[in-house]
Structure 1
Amino acid sequence: MIMSLAAMALGATAPTPTSACAVPTAVHNASTSLNRDVSAEDIAGLRDIGVSDYGETAPGLSVSPDGRWAALQLKRAVPSINSYCLEIVAVPTDGIGPVRIIDQGGALLLSAEPRFEYGPVYTGIPVVVRPLWSPDGKAIAYLKRVNGQTRACVAYLDGRASTLIDHGSGDAVHVAWGPDSRALEVTAVQLAQLEHERDIEALSGYRLDDRFIPSSSSRPYLRAPFPTLTSRIALPSSSTTANMAAAGTQASIDWAEMARGADKPQHSVTERLVQHGIMAQCRAEACSGKIDKLWKSSNGKEISFLRREGPSSDRYALYHWRVGSRKASRRYLTEGLLLDCQPAAGTKLVCAHEEATRPRHIVSLDPRTGRMHDLYDPNPEFAGKAFGTVERLYWKNDRDIPAFADLILPPNHHPGERHPLIIVSYSSRGFLRGGTGDEYPIFALAARGYAVMSFDMPPDIGSFAKGASGPERSAINRKDWANRRSVESSLERGIKLIEEKGVIDPSKKGITGFSDGSSSLWFALINSKLFQAAAVSHCCEEPVGSMALVGSRTARYFEQGGFPGILQDDPAVWAPMSVTRNAHRINVPVLLNLSSDEYLWSLEAIRALRFYHKPVDAYVFPDEYHVKQQPAHRLAIYRRNIAWFDYWLRDILPSRRDERSRWQEMRGDASPSG
Structure 2
Amino acid sequence: MESAAMAVLTIRAGRVLASCLMGLVFVGGLGAQVISPRQLVEVADVDELVVSPGGDMVAFRVAQASVERNTYDSTWYVQRMDGTTLARRVGEGGHLLRESDGASLAPAGVLWSPDGRYLYYRALLDGRIAVWRAAVDGSDARVMTRDPADVRSFRLSPDGQLLRYGTGATREQTGDAKWEEYDSGIHIDETIPLGQGIFQSGYLDERRSTQRLFGSDVIRSPLLARVPEHWREIDLATGRMREIPAPEPSPAPLPAALSERFKPWRQVRQEGTGRIAMLTHVAEWSGAGPKPDVELSVFVEGNGGGHLRCRAELCTDKPITGIQWRPGREEILFTLTDPEDSQAQSILRWDIKADRVFSLVHTPGLINGGRATPNACGASSEALVCVAADASHPPRLERIDLESGNRTVLFNPNAALAADMEGVPVRRLHWTDVAGRRFNGLYFPAQRTAGGAPPLFLTYYRCPGFVRGGVGDEWPLVTLAGRGISALCINAPPSELDAVTRFELGRSAIESVIDLLAASGEIDRGKVGMGGLSYGTEVTMWMAMNSDALSAASVSSIAFSPLAYTLMSISGETFFSRLRTYWQLGAPDETPAQWKRLSPAFNLDRIKVPMLMQLPEQEYQHTLDYAVPLIRDQRADLYVYPNEAHQKFQPRHKLAAYERNVDWFRFWLQGFEDPEAAKVRQYARWRTMADRHAGHSGHAARIP
- Tell me if both proteins adopt one fold, taking TM over 0.5 as the criterion: yes
- Aligned amino acid, residue 650 of structure 1: Q
Contact 2:342 2:441 in 1 (8 A): no
Aligned-partner Cα distance in 2 for 1:83–1:304? 36
Aligned-partner Cα distance in 2 for 1:223–1:262? 36
Give the alignment's TM-score, normalised by structure 2: 0.76
Of residues 426, 440, 443 in structure 2, which corresponds to 1:404? 440
Per-residue deviation at 1:392?
Answer: 1.6
Contact 1:427 1:455 in 2 (8 A): yes
Question: What secondary structure, in the 3-state scheme, does the structure 1 residue paired with 2:696 have?
Answer: coil
Aligned twin of 2:683:
660
Of residues 359, 374, 383 in structure 1, which corresponds to 2:409? 374
- Residue 596 (1) aligns with residue 617 (2): yes
Aligned twin of 1:672:
696
Aligned-partner Cα distance in 2 for 1:512–1:552? 29
Contact 1:154 1:164 in 2 (8 A): yes
- Residue 284 (1) aligns with residue 312 (2): yes
Q: 1:274 to 1:490 in 2, by over 3 A?
A: farther
- Aligned amino acid, residue 45 of structure 2: D
Aligned-partner Cα distance in 2 for 1:83–1:201? 30
Aligned-partner Cα distance in 2 for 1:138–1:292? 33
Aligned-partner Cα distance in 2 for 1:226–1:233? 22
Q: 1:619 to 1:295 in 2, by over 3 A?
A: closer
Question: What secondary structure, in the 3-state scheme, does the structure 1 residue paired with 2:103 have?
Answer: strand
Aligned twin of 1:394:
430
Of residues 305, 313, 326 in structure 1, which corresponds to 2:334? 305
- Residue 69 (1) aligns with residue 57 (2): yes
- Residue 272 (1) aligns with residue 298 (2): yes
Aligned-partner Cα distance in 2 for 1:108–1:649? 37
Aligned-partner Cα distance in 2 for 1:257–1:401? 44
- Residue 147 (1) aligns with residue 126 (2): yes
Of residues 317, 330, 337 in structure 1, which corresponds to 2:346? 317
Structure 1 range deviating more: 386-395 or 126-135: 386-395
Per-residue deviation at 1:93?
Answer: 1.1
Of residues 124, 147, 155 in structure 2, which corresponds to 1:168? 147
Q: What are the Cα deviations for residues 219-259 of structure 1, in whole angstroms up to 9, with x where unaligned? A: 572576431111112336699xxxxxxxxxxxxx9999976
Of residues 636, 639, 654 in structure 2, which corresponds to 1:619? 639
Give the alignment's TM-score, normalised by structure 1: 0.80
- Residue 365 (1) aligns with residue 400 (2): yes
Contact 2:113 2:119 in 1 (8 A): yes
Aligned-partner Cα distance in 2 for 1:62–1:257? 23
Per-residue deviation at 1:96?
Answer: 0.9
Contact 1:597 1:623 in 2 (8 A): yes
Contact 1:318 1:370 in 2 (8 A): no
Q: What are the Cα deviations for residues 513-552 of structure 1, in whole angstroms up to 9, with x where unaligned? A: 1111001100110000111111111132113433424533
Question: What secondary structure, in the 3-state scheme, does the structure 2 residue paired with 1:361 have?
Answer: strand
- Residue 110 (1) aligns with residue 90 (2): no
Q: What are the Cα deviations for residues 439-460 of structure 1, in whole angstroms up to 9, with x where unaligned? A: 1111111111111111111113
Aligned twin of 2:39:
42
Per-residue deviation at 1:278?
Answer: 6.4
Question: What secondary structure, in the 3-state scheme, does the structure 1 residue paired with 2:599 have?
Answer: coil
Aligned-partner Cα distance in 1 for 2:275–2:609? 52
Aligned-partner Cα distance in 2 for 1:256–1:391? 46
Of residues 453, 456, 462 in structure 2, which corresponds to 1:418? 453
Per-residue deviation at 1:76?
Answer: 1.0
Of residues 95, 101, 111 in structure 2, which corresponds to 1:123? 101
Q: What are the Cα deviations for residues 294-339 of structure 1, in whole angstroms up to 9, with x where unaligned? A: 4666775655433344746833233345556575343422221111
Aligned twin of 2:168:
189
Q: 1:414 to 1:673 in 2, by over 3 A?
A: closer
Q: 1:275 to 1:514 in 2, by over 3 A?
A: farther
Per-residue deviation at 1:61?
Answer: 1.1
Aligned-partner Cα distance in 2 for 1:36–1:490? 29
Contact 1:534 1:590 in 2 (8 A): yes
Aligned twin of 1:538:
557
Q: 1:324 to 1:214 in 2, by over 3 A?
A: closer
- Residue correspondence of structure 1 range 633-652 to structure 2 within 5 A: 633-652=653-672
- Aligned amino acid, residue 592 of structure 1: M
- Residue correspondence of structure 1 range 372-521 to structure 2 within 5 A: 372-386=407-421, 387-396=423-432, 401-410=437-446, 412-413=447-448, 418-462=453-497, 477-478=498-499, 481-521=500-540
Question: What secondary structure, in the 3-state scheme, does the structure 1 residue paired with 2:475 have?
Answer: coil
Q: What are the Cα deviations for residues 389-419 of structure 1, in whole angstroms up to 9, with x where unaligned? A: 2222223457765421111113x45899621
Q: 1:350 to 1:269 in 2, by over 3 A?
A: farther
Cα RMSD between the aligned structures?
3.4
Structure 2 gap segments, 5+ residues each: 1-27, 200-210, 213-222, 241-269, 283-291, 370-375, 699-704
Aligned-partner Cα distance in 2 for 1:648–1:259? 56
Per-residue deviation at 1:576?
Answer: 2.9
Of residues 336, 340, 350 in structure 1, which corresponds to 2:385? 350
- Residue correspondence of structure 1 range 217-256 to structure 2 within 5 A: 217-218=197-198, 221=212, 222=223, 225-235=226-236
- Residue 98 (1) aligns with residue 86 (2): yes
Contact 1:543 1:565 in 2 (8 A): no
Q: What are the Cα deviations for residues 243-292 of structure 1, in whole angstroms up to 9, with x where unaligned? A: xxxxxxxxxx9999976459877966762355794665543222223333
Question: What secondary structure, in the 3-state scheme, does the structure 2 residue paired with 1:482 have?
Answer: helix
Of residues 81, 101, 108 in structure 1, which corresponds to 2:69? 81
Contact 2:329 2:381 in 1 (8 A): no
Question: What secondary structure, in the 3-state scheme, does the structure 2 residue paired with 1:490 have?
Answer: helix
Contact 1:257 1:293 in 2 (8 A): no
Contact 1:312 1:402 in 2 (8 A): no
Per-residue deviation at 1:193?
Answer: 5.2
Q: What are the Cα deviations for residues 194-239 of structure 1, in whole angstroms up to 9, with x where unaligned? A: 7756654655544432112201333572576431111112336699
Contact 2:74 2:92 in 1 (8 A): yes
Question: What secondary structure, in the 3-state scheme, does the structure 1 residue paired with 2:673 have?
Answer: coil
Question: What secondary structure, in the 3-state scheme, does the structure 2 residue paired with 1:81 have?
Answer: coil
Q: 1:270 to 1:210 in 2, by over 3 A?
A: closer
Structure 1 range deviating more: 595-604 or 297-306: 297-306
Aligned-partner Cα distance in 2 for 1:610–1:257? 63
Q: 1:557 to 1:197 in 2, by over 3 A?
A: farther
Structure 1 gap segments, 5+ residues each: 1-29, 50-58, 112-121, 240-252, 463-476
Per-residue deviation at 1:507?
Answer: 0.8
